[in-house]
Amino acid sequence: MIAETRRWTNWLLAFVIAVAVGGGYFMHQLGIAATAVGAAAALCWFCSNEHNLRWYAATIGLLLPQDVIVARLSIADVCASPAIFRTGLDGLRRRTLPHSTMIAPFCLLTATFVIATIVEYRTLGHVTSWTLFNKDTGLILQVLVFAALAATLTTPVDVRHLVRWFVAGVVISNIAALFGVAAAFSGIPNPLYNVGNHRLFGWMANPSVTGALLMTGAFLQVSLLASKPASIGAMRSFEWAGLGLLGGSLALTLSRGTWLAVACGAGALLVLLIVERARHAPWPQSVVVATVLWWAVPSIALGALAWQAAPLRAMASVGGRAAALRSDLVGKCQSDPTLDVCREVVMTNAERARTTPPHALDPVPPPVAVSTPASVASTSELTSVPPPNPLFVPDPRDGALRNARGLTDRLAITRSAFRRYNQSVTTRLFGIGLGTFYETSAGEFGVPLIIHNTFVWFLVELGPLGLVAVLWVWAQTGMNLWRVFRSDDGDRKMAAGLIATFVAMTVFCVFNEGFYQRSLWIVIALADRLRATSDGAA
């Protein structure tokens, strides 16, 4: 009877989640989506057990619009809330913490965030909502989910079940996104696929972030296919078909940084396959061929693009790129002032006059003052926006792939961030403050921007101690995975897939601020639990 109730509850929860996502993305009705999210939370509390974390893993790829759940939370966080609450009660009652190798790194990480938040307050005179809701609360939430996973995943079987739920969720959400692609080509516009630049945005509303999720699911699917099959026949064929669809969707993202991450992850997996063959434990030939393809296809594509690219475009100055970016944004707001990005564009009176009806003109408050060295163009110097520099105008034939705009933007942002970091001895010791770059970058670039490099972001905003903390998390995760891979138990293939994923996510974080991606955190958690369960089994 209990099993029957649980089965029906799972089907009902899946239906409610579908209604929440559909209401948030397609019907644009906040009431429907919010009600469904509340119903999902109630169902999770009603059936509070270890299966809630499986639902967390399965719904990681379903990020709801910000007007449905604040701070860009995932519906997976709703599913994980009962497990978090139960873990907290158990910890208070027993006064013990789950055995984990990540306790010390997370403690240092939390301390650096507290210090960086104080630095932001001293720098700006207040703590921004971006810092509180997106940075501080985001870290707390990820650590709490990690603690719940550490308390729940106590055997290797638990780890494998969670991986299967995660992979199944990624595959199913990807199939649903491909329906959005088909609808877009049929003339039905939707937020999943942008027909204008031919890119798959997916449920994560960002091609690169969607690509990171897809490649995580793909590498873990490879490790599952390499293991002794828990399913045979038609189900095995569906798993291979799901892997192929993940590869096709990765191609549709047109994210060169993600393609590079996939190539590096597949290359790492090929090295591990060679090590396995030397140990007389070869993987199935079908898996080896699939790994070679996952390495060769993006590598060849990136090589062809690099051969045709114009590398000098990436050498733009910060001031020049900032002016060009401002000019592009103002041009977009001239053509369509209702765009979301126009809400945060810092425009001058003259620019605003061209984009706003005469009766609506009001004095524009000055942008946030930014203390920058003389080498960086100040806000006043950017009030007169020059016409776009021809250097930054891509050839129309290039499309989204061959132009160097993305790399140019990232280099300009990184240079600006380092110049702010080197302002004084204080900033070099403690960083410029958590969230400070996002809060003040609009004065230079015309719109708030983040630093598109996880490790640079930690150094610039959290200082050297923050960089040490994040590198400790990375090093400990790598050590956990390598120890399991070098062991002689049955988790070696799973560890190999996680190593490939971790390498790919590391490359992804070099080109993006990927620290808060749940696909990265589930890899960190699975690495820790594999290490803990392997040690326990030993």
The predicted structure's pLDDT at residue 91: 78
CB 454 within 8 A of CB 513: yes
- Whether 439 and 486 map to the same domain: the answer is no
Q: Is residue 259 located within the same domain as residue 369?
A: no
> Do both 156 and 183 map to the same domain?
yes
Give me the residues paired with residue 523 across strands: none
Same structural domain, 328 and 298? no
Judge contact between 533 and 156, C-beta under 8 A. Answer: yes
- Domain assignment present for residue 30? The answer is yes
Distance of CA 231 to the CA centre of its chain: 30
Number of domains the chain is built from: 3
Residue 118 lies in a domain: no
**Residues 146 and 74 both lie in one domain:** no
Residue 70 lies in a domain: yes
Closest-CA residue to 42 (of 88, 82, 6): 82
- Domain-embedded: residue 425: yes
Which residue, of 42, 60, 89, is where some domain finishes? 89
Specify which residues 190 forms β-bridges with: 193
Torsion 52-159-520-261 (CA) sign: negative
The pLDDT score that the predictor gives to residue 390 is: 33
pLDDT value, residue 278? 82
Q: Name residue, tokens 């719904």.
A: 59
How far apart, in whole angstroms, are the C-alpha atoms of residue 136 and residue 144?
12
Helices (H), 153-284: 156-185, 207-226, 234-253, 256-278
Residue 122 lies in a domain: no
Q: Which domain holds residue 347?
A: 312-452
Which residue spans within 17-162 are E strands per DSSP? none
> Is 479 found in the same domain as 513?
yes
Asked if residue 324 and residue 293 are part of one domain, the reply reads no
Q: Are 327 and 445 part of one and the same domain?
A: yes
Report the distance separating Cα 13 and Cα 11, nearest Å.
5
Query: What pLDDT does 361 receive?
Result: 37
Per-position pLDDT tens, the chain of length 538: 445 556 677 777 887 888 877 777 776 667 777 778 878 878 777 766 656 788 889 888 888 776 666 656 778 888 888 888 888 888 778 777 778 899 999 999 999 999 999 999 999 999 998 898 889 998 999 999 999 999 888 888 889 999 999 999 999 999 999 998 999 988 888 888 888 778 899 888 889 999 999 999 999 999 998 876 655 566 788 889 999 999 999 999 989 899 999 999 999 999 999 988 888 778 888 889 999 999 999 999 888 877 766 544 444 455 565 666 666 666 666 666 665 556 555 554 444 444 444 443 344 334 433 333 333 333 333 333 333 333 333 333 344 454 445 677 788 888 889 999 999 999 999 999 998 998 888 877 777 888 989 999 999 999 999 999 999 999 999 999 999 998 876 688 899 999 999 999 999 999 998 999 999 999 999 999 999 887 654 4
Say if residue 292 is in the same domain as residue 194: yes
Is the Cβ–Cβ distance between 105 and 143 less than 8 Å?
no
64 in the same domain as 177: no
State the Cα–Cα distance between residues 146 and 476, nearest whole angstrom: 15
Element (H, E) at 194: strand 193-194
Q: Which of 420, 452, 484 finishes a domain?
A: 452
Q: Are residues 392 and 278 in the same domain?
A: no
| Same domain membership, residue 303 and residue 316 | no
